[in-house]
């Protein structure tokens, strides 16, 4: 058997000699003899050493594949695990204040507002307060003024907190007649007494907020007096005796009552200066700018959107103009921006019914050279030539971006003289507080 295997190897080597190699003739080729058919021998399986080597190679391949896992799949699993644990912790603790604010913004789909709200300056304290706090602050300021001048403070209450101006006028004039009678007829006792149940007093005077404080501040005191021919006494305001020697003070109080005006908080313009920005025409207004509630505005907007095509086909121009005017009345305030030739942007808050002349004054006060003539162009390049028109009449509510242009003739004269112009036309103190419009 070994001899036959050796001969097979020799024969295979001879047949497979490479190119260029000389084939060597075997010294003797045995003569083939016919043999009986022999069953093919089975191939032997891999040895133990081969099996061990294959297992080691496979192990190395698997190890290489696993080495990539931490940077991809395993890292993702770890990150997801961390996020789930964080979410579980948040759900147990509840969202933070900042997250609540962000969530509410995302829910409503609202961007950051262009201005935080509408603010007012109290004329008594100089404090800047938000619109919702204005009434409360004024009351507190007037109340604290009673310790300084009770007569003036009570007059402020009468004129400020009674909204019906006609009732105030009638009540104040009636009160003035009472005081005139005392001043002109000091010897007449009947004029120094005012019956609280008197019909005229009840209908015209007693209904006014602050009037009772005024009466007591100028020297009246409440008393219960008997009435001749009547069993039950009645309530009166009676002027103190010492006030008869101070009738001039009484007259001054009457004149002050007649001439006074309501205490009105001044609208804070919230002047802002922004660097040149492509976002100048984008406005996001808070609810303070609207007369209606936010829910009412959203509901009306939805209804208007649904019917806009049909309405535009059926309405006449006059009807559309009336609807536009009605729409303008929904806004109490307007946020206006003015883009200067240098690109800087002025921003201010105004009443919707203020005139265009107020905006011209606002801009002029911000300019370094306030004597230079200029014009303001509204949306679409329309010149705002009639300064007596209100903003809501010009369609500049609830917000608008305008453009300032210099008078061409004046600027040509300045250039002809060769006078060097500053880089910006704004006052230096405004440039020092310039912001970025986001």
**What are 35-48's pLDDT values in tens digits?**
444 444 444 555 55
Please tell me the predicted confidence (pLDDT) of residue 334.
Answer: 94
Please tell me the predicted confidence (pLDDT) of residue 438.
Answer: 76
> CATH number of the domain at 327-436, please?
3.10.20.90
Could you give the 3-state DSSP secondary structure of residue 275? coil
Q: Tell me what the mean pLDDT of segment 26-55 comes to.
A: 49
Q: Which of 20-24, 48-52, 405-409, 410-414 has the lowest mean pLDDT?
A: 20-24
Instruction: List, by residue range, all CATH 3.10.20.90 domains of the chain.
Output: 327-436
Identify whether the C-beta of residue 179 lies closer than 8 Å to the C-beta of residue 251: yes
Q: What percent of the chain has pLDDT over 70?
A: 65
Identify whether the C-beta of residue 208 lies closer than 8 Å to the C-beta of residue 162: yes
CA angle 374, 379, 384 (to 5 degrees): 40
* CA quadruple 97, 103, 107, 110: dihedral, nearest 10: 80
Please tell me the predicted confidence (pLDDT) of residue 288.
Answer: 85
| End-to-end CA separation in angstroms for the chain | 96
Choice between 25 and 227, residue whose per-residue pLDDT is larger: 227
CA–CA gap between residue 130 and residue 120 (Å, rounded): 6
pLDDT band at 49 (very low <50, low <70, confident <90, very high): low
What element of type H or E holds 62? Answer: helix 48-67
Please tell me the predicted confidence (pLDDT) of residue 127.
Answer: 95
Question: What are residue 400's DSSP bridge partners?
Answer: 336
Could you give the 3-state DSSP secondary structure of residue 31? coil
Identify whether the C-beta of residue 114 lies closer than 8 Å to the C-beta of residue 399: yes
Please tell me the predicted confidence (pLDDT) of residue 222.
Answer: 96
CA–CA gap between residue 152 and residue 172 (Å, rounded): 14
CA-closest candidate to residue 193, choices 156, 159, 241: 241
Q: What is the gyration radius of the CA atoms in the chain, in angstroms?
A: 47
* pLDDT per position as a tens digit, 319-364: 556 655 555 557 889 999 999 999 999 999 999 999 999 999 999 9
Tokens 């200029």 correspond to 374
CA–CA gap between residue 40 and residue 43 (Å, rounded): 9
Please tell me the predicted confidence (pLDDT) of residue 162.
Answer: 96
pLDDT greater than 70 at residue 132: yes
Tokens 């005006």 correspond to 261
Q: Which of 5-9, 133-137, 309-313 has the lowest mean pLDDT?
A: 5-9
Tokens 């009105």 correspond to 264
Please tell me the predicted confidence (pLDDT) of residue 50.
Answer: 53
Q: Tell me what the mean pLDDT of segment 372-378 comes to.
A: 95
Please tell me the predicted confidence (pLDDT) of residue 410.
Answer: 87
Question: What are residue 399's DSSP bridge partners?
Answer: 335
Q: How many residues does the chain have?
A: 438
Identify whether the C-beta of residue 338 lies closer than 8 Å to the C-beta of residue 403: yes
Q: Tell me what the mean pLDDT of segment 63-67 comes to.
A: 43
Token pair listed for 192? 């120094």
Please tell me the predicted confidence (pLDDT) of residue 88.
Answer: 46
* pLDDT per position as a tens digit, 261-302: 999 999 999 999 999 999 999 999 888 887 665 655 665 566
pLDDT band at 103 (very low <50, low <70, confident <90, very high): very low
Instruction: List, by residue range, all CATH 1.20.58.2190 domains of the chain.
Output: 119-266
CA 133 to chain centre: 17
CA-closest candidate to residue 154, choices 237, 219, 244, 248: 219
Choice between 107 and 6, residue whose per-residue pLDDT is larger: 6
Please tell me the predicted confidence (pLDDT) of residue 330.
Answer: 73
Q: What percent of the chain has pLDDT over 90?
A: 55
Three-class HEC string of 202-214: HHHHCCCCCHHHH
Please tell me the predicted confidence (pLDDT) of residue 411.
Answer: 86
Q: Which of 24-28, 310-314, 332-336 has the lowest mean pLDDT?
A: 24-28
CA 332 to chain centre: 16
- Given CA atoms 147, 151, 155, 158 in this order, what sign does their dihedral have? positive
pLDDT band at 30 (very low <50, low <70, confident <90, very high): very low
How is domain 119-266 classified at the architecture level of CATH?
Up-down Bundle (1.20)
Question: What are residue 195's DSSP bridge partners?
Answer: 236
Please tell me the predicted confidence (pLDDT) of residue 363.
Answer: 97
* pLDDT per position as a tens digit, 158-175: 999 999 999 999 999 999
CA–CA gap between residue 6 and residue 4 (Å, rounded): 5
- pTM attached to this predicted model: 0.64
């Amino acid at each position: 058997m070994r001899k036959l295997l050796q001969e097979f190897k020799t024969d295979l080597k001879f047949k497979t000699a490479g190119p260029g190699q000389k084939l060597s003739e075997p010294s003797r080729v045995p003569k083939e003899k016919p043999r009986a058919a022999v069953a093919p021998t089975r191939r032997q399986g891999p040895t133990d050493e081969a099996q061990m080597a294959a297992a080691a190679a496979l192990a190395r391949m698997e190890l290489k594949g696993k080495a990539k896992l931490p940077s991809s799949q395993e890292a993702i699993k770890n990150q997801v695990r961390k996020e789930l644990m964080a979410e579980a912790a948040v759900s147990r603790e509840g969202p933070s204040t900042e997250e609540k604010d962000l969530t509410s913004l995302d829910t409503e789909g609202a961007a950051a507002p262009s201005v935080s709200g509408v603010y007012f300056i109290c004329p008594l304290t100089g404090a800047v307060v938000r619109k919702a706090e204005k009434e409360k602050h004024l009351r507190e300021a007037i109340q604290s003024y009673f310790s300084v001048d009770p007569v003036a403070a009570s007059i402020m209450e009468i004129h400020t907190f009674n909204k019906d101006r006609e009732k105030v006028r009638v009540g104040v004039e009636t009160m003035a007649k009472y005081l005139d009678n005392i001043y002109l007829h000091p010897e007449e006792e009947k004029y120094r007494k005012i019956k609280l149940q008197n019909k005229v007093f009840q209908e015209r005077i007693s209904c006014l907020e602050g009037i009772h404080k005024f009466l007591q501040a100028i020297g009246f005191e409440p008393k219960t007096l008997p009435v001749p021919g009547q069993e039950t006494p009645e309530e009166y305001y009676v002027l103190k005796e010492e006030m008869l020697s101070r009738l001039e003070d009484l007259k001054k109080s009457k004149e002050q009552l007649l001439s006074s005006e309501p205490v009105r908080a001044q609208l804070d313009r919230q002047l802002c200066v922004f660097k040149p920005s492509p976002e100048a025409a984008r406005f996001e207004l808070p609810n303070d700018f609207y007369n209606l509630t936010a829910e009412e505005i959203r509901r009306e907007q939805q209804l208007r959107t649904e019917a806009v095509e049909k309405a535009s086909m059926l309405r006449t121009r006059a009807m559309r103009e009336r609807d536009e005017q009605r729409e303008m009345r929904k806004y109490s305030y307007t946020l206006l921006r003015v883009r200067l030739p240098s690109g800087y942007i002025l921003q201010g808050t105004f009443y919707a019914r203020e005139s265009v002349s107020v905006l011209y004054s606002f801009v002029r006060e911000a300019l370094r050279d306030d004597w230079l003539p200029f014009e303001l162009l509204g949306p679409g390049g329309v010149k705002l030539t009639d300064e007596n028109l209100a903003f809501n009449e010009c369609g500049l509510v609830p917000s608008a971006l305008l453009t300032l242009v210099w008078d061409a003739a004046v600027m040509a004269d300045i250039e002809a003289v060769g006078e060097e112009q500053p880089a910006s036309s704004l006052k230096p103190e405004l440039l020092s507080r310039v912001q970025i419009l986001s």
